[in-house]
A and B are shown apart, each in its own frame.
Chain A
Amino acid sequence: MSVSTVTKEQFKQFVSALVDSDQSVIGIQAKDDKFAFGELNNADDLRLDYDVSILPPKKYVLPQKETLLSFEVGGDSQTVQNTAPAVLIGVHPYDMIAINQMDELFRQGEYDSHYMNRRNNLTIIACDVVTPSKNVFASSMNTTTAESGFDIMLTDIGDAYVVEAATEKGEALVKQMPGAVEATPDAVSKRNAAREKNETALDQHKLDCKPAFLPKLLEKAYEHPIWEEKARLCYSCGSCNQVCPTCYCFDVQDEVEWDMKSGCRYRAWDGCLLQNFATVAGNHNFRQKRADRFRHRLYRKGKYVPGKIDGEIACVGCGRCITACTSKIANPVEIYNALMTETEIG
């Protein structure tokens, strides 16, 4: 597939045209002193130089709340599918990798058509990181660049973007970019240099082992006192779950309209740190202890989910949980490194 360059001004014109079209355009924008993905109304609001978004872009493939069925109360149900195409601009490589993992998890076994429809209707314009966020550790997780999942990948090389089209959808979009020309060897080498820099620059925390080693490390760490020590300060608020680009647990509930006749069954984000995540009717909680819930999250990232996706580690190093945690106990690197030094295997 093609590699082109467009000037930043030309790219802005392209985004303007997208915004003016019927298509829904979602972009990364400033929100007070932070950044968030949201409906883009003006190309000027797009901030591809952002450090990290408050919530990951997973909300466009697995929304915080998503209707699955509509029904007559007590009667028959119909599938509700979201089929509106949308363009998502500004996905960082680590978030792209997280979406690729979720694609596999919702595709494998029982095919989740709600997720997959949303995903298939999404065009993703990703971008390499320009500004490292205060807690990013993508360098440690080998997630500073993404190889697939996006339709277009942008790399900021100063006054222009290198535009890599990875799919036919991406190629079609590049054709709509005014002034896009084939990338010169100089532009490509600038892009490669930017990526090479990110390989080591997104390292506010440094993992003392290769990520592929984590499942093995965790095999020996189940009874380690660190879970109890850290969880002592845990509020069970679930913030680490909510901001995580690879957390995909959900609850399913019914909602009835005011007329009490019709309603919908929806799913909504849930979190394994929340106290009643594993409570069954009759009030038995299968993961009652805070430390057990705390440990479960780290094991899901480092061992359990990898077991379902070919060993890929389900922590992409975005650092959002570190920022979100009130008690400052969520840092996965700190925990994994402590286990490295304190378990036999480390």
Chain B
Amino acid sequence: MCNCSNGQKDIYLPELCTITKRRMLNGTELYLHLEKESGEDFDYVPGQFVEVSIAGIGEAPISISSSPTQKGLELVIRNVGSLTKAIHKLEVGDKLGVRGPYGSTYPIEESKGKDLVFICGGIGLVPQRSFIRYALDNRQDYGKITVLIGTKCHDMRLFREEIALWEDRKDMIVRETIDEAHECWNGNVGVVTTLIPKIESDLPTSQVLVCGPPIMYKFVLMALAEADVPESQIYVNLERRMKCGVGKCGHCQMNDQYVCQDGPVFRYSDLALVPEAI
């Protein structure tokens, strides 16, 4: 009488992956590079996320920071909860459970031939970096690439060496700012929105990709509206509480949208009837 799963895979079963590199990016953010035990590559598109777990502690959704053009999976994990605290204690060679990838993707195809403007606030740089790296690895496919990075304070800046390399490149523009002035910092001071008027790309024809803390969206979107960027060319990468990652558990819902499936990347014009989004 038993009617077993009939070969249907268990969507909640993680695959163990090995930590091959780890380093702290600042006081709270840990960078991890993972590889599958099977040696297979991860199959994902920039913008997607994975559910990461340690058996016995728990599971959480984490943005993918690497590009599928490179080997392995890169994650950046902030030490904020019990799971992430445990992940911070892991060493190279330790294992981490991974499910996914899940969710919608950045418009990597649709953006071909267009200028890209990335607006990143804090750890919002982490998922954005996936598309930035992808675009740099397929440089001929895209127009001008501009990356705006806003960080609360000097100490919390992420990927400093990599950003320095980006700044040296002739084929992209990087502008960084920090909210609070610091003696070691002689760059821009102020929130990330202050950089928007300085963008050299033609904003009304650019693809604008935004990711940052909840409070940031309102102000960035206002600035983009002032700069006449059509809402259909703005993409936001949103965060919500998630448990299942597969559209069942209900936690990530914003009105009728599931961030785990309809998002995390949303075209802003698609959110007109989703008041809970921004």
- Interface residues of A, Cβ cutoff 8 Å to B: 68-69, 71-79, 81, 83-85, 105-106, 109-114, 116-117, 120-121, 222, 248-254, 256, 263, 265, 267, 270, 272, 277-282, 284, 286-287, 292, 296, 299-300, 303-304, 307
Query: Which residues of the other chain, B, contact A109 by a CB distance below 8 angstroms?
Result: 246-247, 261
Check A265/B214 contact, CB under 8 A, given A81-B5, A254-B57: no
Interface centre among A113, A120, A272 (most CB of B within 10 A): A113
B13:A304 contact, CB within 8 angstroms: no
> In the complex the two chains form, what is the Cα distance from A284 to B241 in whole Å?
9
Check A248/B248 contact, CB under 8 A, given A68-B12, A254-B57, A304-B255: yes
> In the complex the two chains form, what is the Cα distance from A250 to B80 in whole Å?
22
**B3-17 interface mask toward A, CB cutoff 8 Å, 1 = contact, 0 = none?**
111001111111010
> In the complex the two chains form, what is the Cα distance from A85 to B256 in whole Å?
35
8 cross-chain CB contacts under 8 A:
A81-B5, A109-B247, A112-B246, A114-B12, A250-B249, A251-B243, A265-B12, A307-B256
- Closest 10 pairs between A and B when the two form their complex, measured CB to CB: A249-B250, A71-B55, A73-B56, A281-B81, A110-B246, A120-B3, A79-B10, A113-B5, A304-B256, A281-B80
Partner of B256, one of A77, A249, A303: A303
Query: Which residues of the other chain, B, contact A250 by a CB distance below 8 angstroms?
Result: 243-244, 248-250
Q: Which of B133-156 contact A (CB under 8 A)?
A: none
A272:B250 contact, CB within 8 angstroms: yes
> In the complex the two chains form, what is the Cα distance from A268 to B4 in whole Å?
22
Query: Which residues of the other chain, B, contact A278 by a CB distance below 8 angstroms?
Result: 240-241, 251
> In the complex the two chains form, what is the Cα distance from A343 to B10 in whole Å?
45
> In the complex the two chains form, what is the Cα distance from A249 to B252 in whole Å?
10
Q: DSSP majority for the B interface?
A: loop
Partner of A113, one of B8, B214, B255, B261: B8
Shortest C-beta distance, B251 to chain A (Å), equals 6
A73:B249 contact, CB within 8 angstroms: no
Query: Which residues of the other chain, A, contact B240 by a CB distance below 8 angstroms?
Result: 278, 280, 286
Query: Which residues of the other chain, B, contact A73 by a CB distance below 8 angstroms?
Result: 55-56
> In the complex the two chains form, what is the Cα distance from A68 to B249 in whole Å?
14
A113:B11 contact, CB within 8 angstroms: yes
Query: Which residues of the other chain, B, contact A252 by a CB distance below 8 angstroms?
Result: 12, 58-59, 243-244, 249
Instruction: Report the tally of A-B residue pairs with Cβ distances under 8 A.
Output: 143
B8:A286 contact, CB within 8 angstroms: no
> In the complex the two chains form, what is the Cα distance from A79 to B13 in whole Å?
7
A114:B10 contact, CB within 8 angstroms: yes
A121:B3 contact, CB within 8 angstroms: yes
Shortest C-beta distance, A62 to chain B (Å), equals 10
Query: Which residues of the other chain, B, contact A281 by a CB distance below 8 angstroms?
Result: 60, 80-81, 84
> In the complex the two chains form, what is the Cα distance from A270 to B12 in whole Å?
17
**B75-109 interface mask toward A, CB cutoff 8 Å, 1 = contact, 0 = none?**
00010110010000000000101000000000000
Partner of A254, one of B8, B55, B251, B254: B55
The verdict on B196 contacting chain A, using a C-beta distance below 8 Å, is no
Query: Which residues of the other chain, A, contact B3 by a CB distance below 8 angstroms?
Result: 83, 117, 120-121
The verdict on B130 contacting chain A, using a C-beta distance below 8 Å, is no
Check A112/B11 contact, CB under 8 A, given A248-B248, A249-B251, A280-B241: yes
Shortest C-beta distance, A123 to chain B (Å), equals 9
| A219 nearest CB neighbor, chain B only | B273
B11:A254 contact, CB within 8 angstroms: no
B1:A113 contact, CB within 8 angstroms: no
B249:A76 contact, CB within 8 angstroms: no
Shortest C-beta distance, B154 to chain A (Å), equals 21
Shortest C-beta distance, A63 to chain B (Å), equals 15
Interface centre among B4, B9, B249, B251 (most CB of A within 10 A): B251
Query: Which residues of the other chain, B, contact A121 by a CB distance below 8 angstroms?
Result: 1-3
| A72 nearest CB neighbor, chain B only | B55
Partner of B55, one of A76, A249, A251: A76
Partner of B4, one of A112, A117, A248: A117
| A306 nearest CB neighbor, chain B only | B256
B55:A263 contact, CB within 8 angstroms: yes
